[in-house]
Structure 1
Amino acid sequence: MLVFISCKQKSDNTPEPSVPTGPDTEQAADSSAVETNPPNATYSPAFNGQTRIKGVRTQTAYTARIITDQLDRPWGITGLPDGRMLITQKTGQMRIVSASGQIGALISGLPAVNAAGQGGLLGLCLDRQFATTRTVFWVFSEPVTGGNVTAVGRGRLSADETRMENATVIYRATPAYSGSNHYGGRILVDPTGHLMVSTGERADLVTRPQSQSMSSGLGKIVRITTDGHPAADNPFSGQATARPEIFSLGHRNPQGLALHPVTSEVWQSEHGPRGGDELNHIEAGKNYGWPTITYGLEYSGQRVGAGIQQQNGLEQPAYYWDPVISPSGMSFFAGNSVPEWENNLFIGSLSGMHIARLVIENNRIIGEERLLADQGQRFRDITQAMDGALFAITDEGRLYRIGPN
């Protein structure tokens, strides 16, 4: 049986338990998919299990509780070495939250963001030697001449944790555009110490084709050094017509990036239009198709482009959702404190208002579960902390701890 304990955090940080709730989880698998609504499109998947895979259910007892509900539109979360959480807020703030829900002071010294639309202070990660360097990297929508760009900042968290010292912008995904949507915005440090950053194609029809352009930083996964330079061994390095920072292309609005805990391979989630949300297994130099191929429709209900889902040279998503769940930040579960969660992928769902748990075998999805679907929350990001538990943030300002009893 799942044990769900919700402890609402009052403004004075005194936890207040509510009535336990949650689904019965005695059976491990369902023969039917968790999605029961009809799809928007009548497209057929490229292979069995690419969408609407069978449902699975967690058997091990675990606890989910609200650590605090006093955050202001949190967007990115990462764990500090001492077990606390460093969190970005969309409107431009960064702050630290303890495992007991104590919210620290606003951290000053960050560059200004354009928080209109889907912009703001977005994803973040720590330097691999953070304990020594105290260096933090973050993604934000930066107002510049000609509009806004997805930018990467770097700074040093002060010893008293009140300011970001020597904050500087190390990378900008140009060209700038005056729109306010589809920034992408996730960042991680790969096993070689390079930064991998997701950038959106900025949503509008005029910018959409740049997802396929090798001379544009839009709609890409880029791989750069911690100083912002292209990684020397990137797949298009040395090609005169290609930006050397590009690692993969053909992305729409990629709001999730994660490293597999065993293989260290990169996985990515991105928003589709009307249907066609994707989970991709990212490989160097590959083209993931947007907008040439997609399992989604325009918001009007019309086909996107030629309305095709497969084309030689373009990668298929490992999994897709129709209707959309709006996948955002994600994290693999390392370890076996909840045995059936080992190496599973957990994805925050915005419009779906749940956390999607995906079971992966040989790079194929073999099971899906929806967690915390009764909470009415838009789950924006999720990470695994030092104690092995998952910590998830919602647009509504909550921080959840999800893990073994």
Structure 2
Amino acid sequence: MKLCLLPALASERDTSSRHTVPTPRWFGSGAKWAVLLLAACSPSAASTPDGQAPGPGPGPVAGGPEQVAHQVVTVVDDLSNPWAVAWLPGGDMLVTERPGRLRIVRDGTLLRDPVEGVPAVRARGQGGLLDVAPHPDFAGNRLLYLSFAAQHDDGGASTVVVRGRFENDALTGVEEVWVAQSRGRDHFGSRIAFDADNYLYITAGDRQVSPRGGLSELAAHPAQDLSTHHGVVVRLHDDGRIPADNPFVGQEGVLQDIYSYGHRNAQGMAFHPETGDLWLNEHGPQGGDEVNLILPGRNYGWPVVGYGVNYGSGSRIHVGSHRDGMEPPAHYWVPSIATSGLMIYTGDRFPQWRGSMFVGGLAGQQLARLTLNGQTVTGEETLVRRQGRIRDVRQGPDGLIYLVFDRPGMVARLEPGAG
């Protein structure tokens, strides 16, 4: 049984480059500020295709982001396609490598031997060992969570999340917490986050099911189907049980663990440490990367609405950029920077950046800083350019900003300095 939303088609279509989308409800106006390291700020220009009237555009921002001197310093290198980083209470840093290894960085040194007990993964295409997250009560229960692409007997693969006890540099008692009910080639999603009440959130991508056709065909895409895990965020108890207050609990034909849907391939997700807001970024196609504020039960529109175009041909995917019943992004990029990794900074090493959102870019090879005013994105600054494909962005326990570079395979950090 397929359950899809088919709200009224919007008439406007806006393809402005990199900006915030205002709406009457809780999104405000904003503008794109692209800033090279220690360079002057300048607002972006908007454009509309084919003589169409412009959609709702960004308003002016009162002043650009404040320039802060910083430098990128290598922490560890010689990694093989690292995907995520996390810290344990004792100070050890864990790094996942997509071929299936979990590595330990202790006292600034990458240990030679990977962690034992990691499950076998399907390390092909975009699959492999992906995210890692310690339980919020790790100091007491030693539980460590991993997401990865798992091989099925029929040759397919799904996103899987497991947990095990991490002791003596090994993982034991590994058990499945969640298995996605979706198959496909790539787009595994796989980010993990815990909220303040220890509920577990997981992203699952649309599995690279190509969108085709008009409204009826796009609305039948698996990312609009609540009976599958294509393009969703799920919410679980820490042991995999489904919370009774999930938005679709009790609805027939719907997967009860779904929290939000209509996503493409979300590879960055984080809770704002101070407000509790859940933020997510989505890797778009050729254009249309998004930052979204995630609300329970909401439809985020992929592939019915959006700002992306097909790879290569540049042909239109969507039937518009706005539609009743589908949430607009808080911010988007055209062309795509290939977003991956998201973090809200609350440290004291860069006090001018407190409260900012940081988003990594893979193909764009950049780190974007987005300024926030409540739930509104008000500006953008580019801090790192052309130093590699940024897969993950995290705040370390030392208050510095850590970057995981897929290529070159390394972990680096931003430190205060001359740049």
Q: Shorter chain as normaliser: what TM range?
A: 0.7 to 0.9
Partner of 2:359: 347
The answer to whether the 8 A contact 1:41-1:322 is kept is no
* 1:329 pairs with 2:338: no
The answer to whether the 8 A contact 1:40-1:274 is kept is no
Task: List per-residue Cα deviations over 1:244-263 (Å, max 9, x = no partner).
Answer: 10000000011010111210
Greater alpha carbon shift after TM alignment, 217-226 vs 328-337? 328-337
Equivalents in 1 of 2:365, 2:47: separation in Å?
18
Amino acid at match of 1:153: V
Question: Offset of 1:212 from its aligned partner?
Answer: 0.7
Question: Offset of 1:144 from its aligned partner?
Answer: 1.6
Residue 382 (structure 1) aligned to one of 377, 393, 415: 393
Task: List per-residue Cα deviations over 1:189-228 (Å, max 9, x = no partner).
Answer: 1111111000001012389811111111111000011111
Amino acid at match of 2:134: L
More strand by share: 1
The answer to whether the 8 A contact 2:280-2:293 is kept is yes
Q: Which 5+ residue runs of structure 2 have no aligned equivalent?
A: 1-34, 213-217
Partner of 1:200: 205
Residue 228 (structure 1) aligned to one of 228, 240, 247: 240
The answer to whether the 8 A contact 1:40-1:297 is kept is no
Q: Which aligned pairs between 1:75-154 and structure 2 lie closer than 5 A?
A: 75-98=83-106, 100-146=108-154, 147-154=156-163
Equivalents in 2 of 1:53, 1:203: separation in Å?
36
The answer to whether the 8 A contact 2:286-2:308 is kept is yes
Amino acid at match of 1:183: F
Equivalents in 1 of 2:53, 2:76: separation in Å?
43
Equivalents in 1 of 2:146, 2:51: separation in Å?
39
Residue 157 (structure 1) aligned to one of 156, 162, 166: 166
Partner of 1:237: 249
Residue 67 (structure 2) aligned to one of 59, 71, 90: 59
Question: Offset of 1:54 from its aligned partner?
Answer: 9.5
Equivalents in 1 of 2:50, 2:279: separation in Å?
25
Partner of 1:317: 329
Question: Offset of 1:371 from its aligned partner?
Answer: 1.6
What secondary structure is seen at the aligned counterpart in 1 of 2:180? strand
Equivalents in 1 of 2:343, 2:173: separation in Å?
29
Amino acid at match of 1:394: F
Task: List per-residue Cα deviations over 1:94-135 (Å, max 9, x = no partner).
Answer: 011135243352012111111111111111211011112111
Question: Offset of 1:336 from its aligned partner?
Answer: 3.7
Partner of 1:11: none
Distance 1:42 1:81, change over 3 A: farther
Partner of 2:173: 166
Distance 1:313 1:99, change over 3 A: farther
Equivalents in 2 of 1:293, 1:358: separation in Å?
23
* 1:286 pairs with 2:316: no
The answer to whether the 8 A contact 1:388-1:403 is kept is no
Structure 1 length as normaliser, TM-score?
Answer: 0.85
Partner of 1:31: 42
The answer to whether the 8 A contact 1:41-1:297 is kept is no
Question: Offset of 1:394 from its aligned partner?
Answer: 0.6
Equivalents in 1 of 2:53, 2:72: separation in Å?
37
Task: List per-residue Cα deviations over 1:358-383 (Å, max 9, x = no partner).
Answer: 111131211111122142x0000011
Greater alpha carbon shift after TM alignment, 235-244 vs 322-331? 235-244
Partner of 1:266: 278
Partner of 1:69: 77
Q: Which aligned pairs between 1:287-302 and structure 2 lie closer than 5 A?
A: 287-299=299-311, 300-302=313-315
The answer to whether the 8 A contact 1:49-1:366 is kept is no
The answer to whether the 8 A contact 1:123-1:187 is kept is yes
Question: Offset of 1:386 from its aligned partner?
Answer: 1.0
Equivalents in 1 of 2:47, 2:365: separation in Å?
18
Which structure is higher in RCO with an 8 Å CA cutoff and minimum separation 6?
2
Task: List per-residue Cα deviations over 1:122-164 (Å, max 9, x = no partner).
Answer: 1121101111211111111111244111111111112x21x21
* 1:180 pairs with 2:180: no
The answer to whether the 8 A contact 1:347-1:382 is kept is yes
Task: List per-residue Cα deviations over 1:38-76 (Å, max 9, x = no partner).
Answer: 9999988754339x9899455333342011221111001
Amino acid at match of 1:156: R
* 1:250 pairs with 2:259: no
**RMSD of aligned alpha carbons:** 2.6
Structure 2 length as normaliser, TM-score?
Answer: 0.83
The answer to whether the 8 A contact 1:43-1:295 is kept is no
* 1:211 pairs with 2:219: no
Question: Offset of 1:304 from its aligned partner?
Answer: 1.2
Equivalents in 2 of 1:112, 1:53: separation in Å?
49
Amino acid at match of 2:163: R
Percent identity, aligned pairs only?
36
Distance 1:152 1:46, change over 3 A: farther
The answer to whether the 8 A contact 1:60-1:339 is kept is no
